[in-house]
């Protein structure tokens, strides 16, 4: 009788405590394509997809509206203007060219145009047409699709806002 | 009972009492202990120590309060505790992908994340304080997080008009309206258009029964590279508007029998001028001449033809009208002539313009369609169909209603069926318990349900009446996004204030121009004050842009301004008088308030200015990268070879100052030009003139890229 009471008094609270512990729901492994905002084909291998973040996807939209005409070989309207131009503008996926250029240089070229940065005047200035956020987004998109892939330099970017 | 005995019992009771007290305290302790180990407390502590590793610790911890953070929007019925763990959500310095979750900042969006919280867009359970409860579905809480690839649906909940930032949502809405989903379903903000499927009141005069049979069985008429008509295995860029219904052979026979009996108004064959026919019949290349006219008139701006190059069969041409590759094997030749002369007399809401035909052209083009756009084998696998019996006709009549055909097709005397399918206007806000999954083994959530229902309607409901669509995965995601955005009318008036409605506009000119506007269906391709199509330039300010003589000349003989465009303005054979009516109306009415034509005096432009403008054009700004003059230059902007005869000086000046102010979203970037440069460039552009090209008559050919 004594032992039965004892067991009753110990087990009941234990059960109550145990029942309050939850079974952790299994969190499904994050699929980086299902969770990507958008995807883009790899320029060298269309079967492989590159997941794009929100910012990169915004950049893709701006690119396809303004830049695609001269920096790609196929455009929404069909033929590209790229082959018409001398010097020939680099393709937007051309990592060998763009990976060597810093973010600041790329952003300034887009904002101020080629002639301001010692490049060809064919590249017009977009600073008054696109916002700085849009220009950053385009750059993020170009970095995402670059072949060979772009690797940010080992030194981290400044934490402080640009002056 | 002795005192000792009582003592004994009391000792035992005391032990029990002590044990019970300990147990009770233990039970009471559960709650504070559980609270102590709450995961959000750990996240808050982690955030503080993470912030201390960052150089801007002070800013990161400025609005940090220990405890549950809460955003409460009573108007939206949202209680949002996400920022308890997502502490860095609005810290711009934490946007980098290297910042560990849940502290990473939200990407820059037009809305204030701290004000609106997360649940409004991302869904999930706002009041929950456990990660899994907040993010996932439980039995009690039914709203899981919206996967990021469908997130644009949330933009569409309030922004009923298309935004440039939401291409996927816009595409989904476009598909819902293109595929005529509104024929059977009530959809939010997608009106049931007047023109869904063709009016069938008179279809017996237009089509043979064999063709109707074929169409109902396989609503594609395109061939693959080996010449076989295929349904599957052929990649259409666009889903055909007529979907495939699941019909038995007997049902198809009955429907085709019923439809062939619909001969409301008999067609009177058009009497061609016999001398024209006699002279044309002699020429051996009649069909070739017809093809030349077909191409010159740019029928392919609206209609597509299948073209086989190498192993690949592709549709080339527009999608406003039906694909015509085999139309010669489809329609009755007398019907074709009557249709081409006056489409609206057969179908009052037809989008096809009423061309002015000469007998020669009409004869040539119909001969081309009847002899070249045919396929003798098209109907070869149709079983022999006898005269329709009364029984078949009755069954067909019944099926026409039962299968929902009357939702899209009009037949005189048959009342149209609206809302034949379920109401989808609030599909996006449905909970899982409101969905019927049947015996399918798909995950129990709204997105899987929508996608299963569209890809295979029978999988969730074996008795579904919905036809079979074959969408690409991208389009399927786009449609899913658009459906998820339909969360119904806002629950109360304060929320209704947030909804940005679809702009409504109606441009309905009257008078002589109104008649021509209707006759040539300008609004199918062009946009006027926000109303009309997207294929061709917006003409809201055309009167400010172009000179009147140029407009009249262009209407008579549309030249190519943009060499890369596949779609060109058709040649309607407009008369001189009609051209001047249209030019006068556009010049008078479609003016931009920011372009003052009288303010710019053409005489002020001197040859020296033009010379300086030429230098600016060619050297400093390299405009030739995008614009063509003569035979050199780029394809992006319009050809400027004839700009001096085309554009108004005041328009050029305003355009150079700020292109986007005149045409929002235009590609040409705004530059910082001085007033002197603007005038010099304008002076130069005005000197660019060409002699008027010879008018294309019915016998003259035009080359592609005809502006040169």
Q: Which CATH architecture has domain B203-371?
A: Orthogonal Bundle (1.10)
The tokens for B432 are 């899982």
Question: What gap in Å lies between CA B475 and CA B170, rounded to an integer?
Answer: 11
Please determine, for residue B580, whether its predicted confidence score (pLDDT) is greater than 90. Answer: yes
pLDDT of residue B137: 67
Residue A147 is classified by DSSP as: B
Interchain proximity A38–B20, CB inside 8 Å: no
CA dihedral angle for residue A53, residue A54, residue A55, residue A59, rounded to 10 degrees: 90
Distance of CA A118 to the CA centre of its chain: 28
Q: Within the 546-565 window of chain B, which residues sit less than 8 Å (CB to CB) from chain A?
A: 562, 564-565
Say if the Cβ atoms of A35 and B147 lie within 8 Å.
Answer: yes
The yes-or-no verdict on residue B682 having pLDDT over 70 is yes
Q: Do A9 and B23 touch (CB under 8 A)?
A: yes
Q: What is the pLDDT of residue B233?
A: 33
pLDDT of A152 above 80: no
Mutation target vs B (from A50, A73, A75, A129; most B CBs, 10 A cutoff): A129
Shortest Cα–Cα distance, A96 to chain B (Å): 24
In Å, how far from its chain's centre is CA B123? 26
CATH code for the part of the protein at B511-686: 1.10.760.10
- List the 99-138 stretch of A: residues with Cβ below 8 A of B: 115, 120-122, 124-126, 128-129, 133
Local structure of B679: helix, strand or coil: helix
Residues of chain B contacting A20 with CB distance shorter than 8 Å: 30, 34
CA B584 and chain centroid, separation: 33
Distances (CA, A) of A19 to A11, A13, B27, B240: 12, 10, 12, 57
Chain B contact for A24, CB < 8 A?
yes
Burial class (CB in 10 A: 0-12, 13-18, 19+), B174: middle
The answer to whether B135 and B144 are in contact (CB under 8 A) is yes
Nearest chain A alpha carbon to B478: A38
* Virtual torsion, Cα B604, B607, B612, B616, nearest 10 deg: 80
Nearest C-alpha in A relative to B97: A53
For residue A21, give the chain B residue with the closest CA. Answer: B34
pLDDT of B181:
86
More confident residue, B276 or B241: B276
Is B229's pLDDT higher than 50?
A: no
Asked if the Cβ–Cβ distance from B667 to A35 is below 8 Å, we say: no
The tokens describing B139, both together, are 């039995």
Among chain B residues, CA nearest to A124: B669
Q: Is the dihedral of CA B587, B588, B591, B597 positive or negative?
A: positive
Q: Which two tokens stand for residue B403?
A: 């299968």
Cross-chain residue pair A159–B54, CB shorter than 8 Å: yes
**What is the maximum span of chain B, computed from C-alpha positions, in angstroms?**
141
Indicate the domain borders of chain A. Answer: 38-145
Using DSSP's 3-state secondary structure scheme, residue B302 falls into coil
Residues of chain B with pLDDT > 70, as a percent, come to: 89
| Lowest mean per-residue pLDDT among A78-92, B205-219, B288-302, B311-325 | B311-325
Contact call for B634 and A85, based on CB within 8 A: yes
What is the SS3 assignment for B425? coil
**pLDDT tens by residue, A31-41:** 556 667 888 88
What is the pLDDT, as a whole number, of residue B328?
85
CA proximity to A132, closest of A62, A53, A51, A38: A62
For B599-655, how does the pLDDT look when each residue is reduced to its tens digit (9 = 90+)?
Answer: 888 788 889 999 999 999 998 899 988 898 888 888 888 889 889 989 999 999 999
Q: What is the mean pLDDT of residues B456-474?
A: 84
Token pair of B353 as six digits: 């313009």
Q: What is the pLDDT of residue A23?
A: 47
- Of the ranges A90-94, A125-129, B701-705, which one carries the lowest mean pLDDT score? B701-705
Query: pLDDT tens-digit profile of B653-665?
Result: 999 999 998 888 8
Give φ, ψ of B424 to 5 degrees. -110, 10
Give the Cα separation of B149 and B447 in Å (integer): 11
Coil/strand/helix, residue B71: strand
- Where does B436-566 have alpha helices with state H? 446-455, 457-460, 473-484, 493-496, 511-519, 522-525, 542-545, 548-556
CATH superfamily of A38-145: Cytochrome c-like domain (1.10.760.10)
pLDDT score for B12: 84
Computed over every residue of chain B, the mean pLDDT equals 83
- Smallest Cβ distance to A128: which of B167, B619, B670? B670
B154 chain-A contacts, CB cut-off 8 A? none
Contacts with A, B 571-600, CB within 8 Å: none
CB B483 within 8 A of CB B183: no
Using alpha carbons, select from B549, B548, B551, B529 the residue that is nearest to residue B538.
B529
What is the rounded CA–CA span in Å between residue B374 and residue B329? Answer: 5
Phi (first) and psi of residue B546, to 5 degrees: -110, 155
Q: For residue A111, which of A89, A88, A138 has the smallest C-alpha distance?
A: A138
Percent of chain B with pLDDT over 90: 17
Query: H or E stretch including B45?
Result: helix B39-53
Read out DSSP for B580-634? HHHHHHHHHH---TT--GGGS-GGG--HHHHHHHHHIIIIIS-GGGT-EETTEE-
Average pLDDT, stretch A111-133? 90
The answer to whether the Cβ–Cβ distance between B625 and A125 falls below 8 Å is no
Residue B642 DSSP class = T
Q: Would you place residue B337 in the very low, low, confident or very high pLDDT band (cuts 50, 70, 90)?
A: very high
pLDDT of B565 reads 67
Token code pair at residue B635 = 């394809």
- B140: burial class by Cβ within 10 Å (0-12, 13-18, 19+)? exposed
- The label of the residue with tokens 């569409």 reads B156
Asked whether this complex has an ipTM greater than 0.85, the answer is no
Tens-place pLDDT, residues B275-303: 888 888 888 888 889 998 888 888 888 88
Mean pLDDT of the region A121-142: 92
Q: Are B416 and B406 in contact (CB under 8 A)?
A: yes
Residues B209, B215: Cα–Cα separation, whole Å: 10
> Quick one: pLDDT at residue B700?
34
Q: Which two tokens stand for residue B524?
A: 């199918």
Q: A140 falls in which pLDDT band (50, 70, 90)?
A: very high
For B663, the 3-state DSSP assignment is coil
pLDDT recorded at residue B425: 85
Q: Yes or no: is domain B158-188+420-496 CATH 2.60.40.420?
A: yes
d(CA B333, CA B205): 10
Check residues B235 and B620 and name the one with the higher pLDDT. Answer: B620
Helices (H), strands (E): how many in chain A? Answer: 6, 2
Q: How are beta strands B71-73 and B78-80 bridged, if at all?
A: antiparallel
Contacts of A24 in chain B (CB under 8 A): 132
Sequence spans of domains, chain B: 1-33, 39-145, 158-188+420-496, 203-371, 511-686
Interface test with A, best of B94, B107, B172, B668 (most A CBs within 10 A): B107
What is the pLDDT, as a whole number, of residue B232?
Answer: 35
Q: b vs e for B333-343, b when ≥16 Cβ sit within 10 Å of the residue's Cβ? A: ebbbbbbbeeb
Q: Which residues of A5-27 are buried (b: 16+ CB within 10 A; e: fewer)?
A: eeeebeeebeeeeeeeeeeeeee
**Tens digit of pLDDT for each residue in B498-508?**
677 777 777 88
From B400's Cα to the closest Cα of chain A, the distance in A is: 41
Non-local CB neighbours of B343 within 8 Å, separated by 6+ positions: B350, B352, B353, B354
Category of B423 on φ-ψ map: left (φ > 0), alpha (ψ -120 to 50) or beta = beta
State yes or no: pLDDT of B213 exceeds 50. yes
Cβ distance A78 to B566 under 8 Å?
yes
Residue of B nearest to A63 (CA): B667
Domain B203-371 in the same topology as domain B158-188+420-496: no
Q: Averaged over B513-526, what is the pLDDT?
A: 90
Helix (H, G, I), strand (E, B) or coil at B80: strand
Question: What residues contact residue B341 under an 8 Å CB cut-off, 6+ apart?
Answer: B270, B354, B357, B362
- For the record, the structure tokens of B660 come out as 């986007």
The stretch B341-367 carries a mean pLDDT of 88
pTM above 0.95, yes or no: no
pLDDT tier at B17, thresholds 50, 70, 90: very high
H/E stretch holding B190 = none
Q: How confident is the model at residue B551 (pLDDT cuts 50, 70, 90)?
A: very high
The minimal CB distance from A159 to the residues B55, B626, B660 is found for B55
Residue B667 has pLDDT above 70, yes or no: yes
Greatest extent of chain A over all pairs of C-alpha atoms, in Å: 100
Give the pLDDT confidence score for residue B683 in this predicted structure: 93
The conformational region for residue B359 under phi > 0 = left, psi -120 to 50 = alpha, else beta, is alpha
Across the interface, of A24, A58, A121, the residue whose CB is closest to B165 is A58
Residue B361 to residue A66: CA distance in whole angstroms: 41
How large is the average pLDDT for residues A61-84? 86
Interchain CB distance below 8 Å, A69 and B636? yes
pLDDT exceeds cutoff 80 at A63: yes
């Amino acid at each position: 009788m004594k032992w039965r009471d004892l067991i009753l008094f110990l087990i009941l609270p234990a059960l109550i405590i145990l029942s309050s512990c939850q079974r952790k729901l299994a969190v499904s492994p994050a699929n980086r394509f299902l969770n990507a905002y958008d995807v883009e084909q790899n320029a060298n291998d269309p079967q492989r997809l590159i997941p794009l973040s929100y910012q990169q996807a915004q950049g893709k939209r701006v690119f396809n509206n303004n830049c695609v005409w001269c920096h790609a070989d196929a455009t929404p309207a069909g033929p590209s203007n790229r082959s018409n131009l001398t010097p020939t503008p680099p393709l937007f996926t051309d990592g060998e060219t763009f990976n060597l250029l810093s973010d600041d240089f790329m952003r300034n070229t887009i904002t101020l145009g080629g002639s301001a940065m010692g490049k060809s005047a064919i590249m017009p200035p977009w600073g008054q047409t696109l916002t700085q956020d849009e220009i950053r987004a385009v750059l993020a998109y170009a970095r995402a699709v670059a072949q060979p892939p772009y690797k940010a330099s080992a030194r981290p970017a400044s934490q402080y806002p640009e002056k | 009972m002795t005192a000792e005995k009582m003592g004994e019992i009391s000792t035992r009771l005391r032990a029990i009492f002590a044990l019970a007290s300990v147990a009770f305290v233990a039970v009471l302790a559960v709650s504070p202990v559980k609270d102590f180990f709450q995961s959000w407390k750990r996240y808050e502590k982690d955030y503080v120590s993470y912030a201390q590793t960052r150089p801007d610790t002070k800013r990161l911890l400025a609005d940090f309060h220990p405890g549950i953070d809460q955003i409460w929007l009573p108007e939206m019925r949202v209680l949002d505790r996400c920022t308890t763990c997502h502490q860095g959500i609005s810290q711009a310095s934490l946007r980098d992908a290297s910042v560990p979750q849940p502290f990473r900042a939200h990407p820059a969006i037009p809305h204030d994340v701290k004000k609106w919280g997360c649940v409004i867009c991302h869904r999930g359970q706002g009041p929950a304080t456990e990660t899994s409860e907040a993010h996932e579905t439980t039995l009690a809480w039914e709203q899981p997080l919206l996967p990021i690839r469908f997130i644009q649906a949330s933009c569409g909940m309030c922004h009923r008009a298309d935004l440039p930032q939401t291409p996927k949502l816009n595409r989904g809405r476009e598909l819902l309206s293109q595929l005529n989903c509104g024929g059977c379903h009530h959809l939010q903000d997608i009106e049931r258009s007047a023109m869904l499927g063709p009016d069938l009141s008179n279809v017996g005069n237009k089509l043979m029964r064999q063709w109707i049979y074929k169409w109902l069985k396989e609503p594609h008429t395109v061939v693959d590279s080996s010449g076989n008509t295929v349904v599957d295995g052929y990649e259409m860029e666009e889903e055909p508007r007529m979907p495939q219904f699941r019909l038995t052979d007997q049902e198809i026979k009955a429907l085709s029998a019923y439809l062939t009996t619909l001969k409301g108004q008999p067609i009177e064959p058009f009497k061609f001028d016999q001398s024209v026919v006699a002279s044309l019949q002699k020429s051996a290349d009649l069909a070739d001449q017809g093809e030349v006219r077909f191409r010159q008139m740019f029928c392919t701006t609206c209609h597509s033809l299948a073209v086989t190059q190498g192993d690949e069969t592709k549709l080339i041409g527009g999608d406003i009208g039906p694909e015509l590759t085999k139309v010669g094997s489809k329609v009755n030749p007398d019907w074709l002539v009557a249709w081409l002369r006056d489409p609206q007399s057969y179908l009052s809401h037809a989008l096809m313009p009423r061309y002015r035909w000469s007998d020669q052209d009409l004869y040539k083009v119909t001969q081309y369609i009847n002899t070249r756009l045919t396929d003798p084998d098209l109907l070869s696998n149709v079983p022999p169909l006898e005269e329709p019996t009364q029984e078949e006709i009755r069954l067909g009549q019944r099926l026409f209603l039962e299968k929902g055909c009357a939702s899209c097709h009009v037949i005189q005397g048959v009342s149209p069926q609206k809302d034949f399918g379920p109401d989808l206007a609030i599909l996006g806000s449905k909970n899982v318990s409101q969905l019927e999954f049947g015996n399918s083994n798909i995950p129990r959530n709204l997105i899987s349900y929508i996608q299963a229902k569209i890809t295979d309607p029978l999988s969730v409901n074996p008795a579904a009446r919905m036809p079979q669509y074959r969408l690409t995965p991208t389009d399927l995601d786009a449609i899913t996004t658009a459906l998820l955005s339909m969360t119904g009318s806002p629950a109360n008036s304060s929320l209704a204030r947030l909804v940005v409605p679809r702009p409504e506009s109606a441009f309905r000119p009257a008078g002589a121009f109104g008649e021509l506007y209707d006759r040539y269906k300008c609004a199918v391709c062009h946009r006027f004050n926000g109303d009309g199509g997207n294929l061709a330039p917006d003409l809201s300010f055309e009167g400010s842009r172009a000179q009147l003589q140029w407009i009249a000349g262009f209407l008579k003989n549309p030249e190519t301004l943009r060499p890369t465009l596949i779609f060109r303005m058709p040649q309607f054979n407009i008369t001189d008088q009609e051209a001047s009516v249209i030019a006068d109306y556009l010049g008078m009415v479609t003016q931009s308030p920011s372009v003052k034509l009288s303010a710019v005096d053409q005489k002020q432009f001197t040859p020296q200015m033009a010379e300086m403008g030429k230098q600016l054009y060619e050297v400093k700004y390299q405009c030739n990268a995008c614009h063509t003059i003569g035979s050199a230059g780029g394809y992006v902007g319009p050809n400027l070879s004839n700009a001096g005869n085309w554009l108004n000086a005041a328009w050029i000046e305003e355009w150079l100052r700020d292109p986007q102010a005149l045409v929002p979203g235009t590609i040409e970037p705004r530059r910082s030009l001085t007033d002197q440069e603007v005038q010099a460039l304008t002076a130069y552009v005005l000197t660019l003139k060409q002699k008027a090209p010879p008018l294309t008559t019915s016998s003259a050919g035009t080359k592609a890229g005809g502006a040169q």
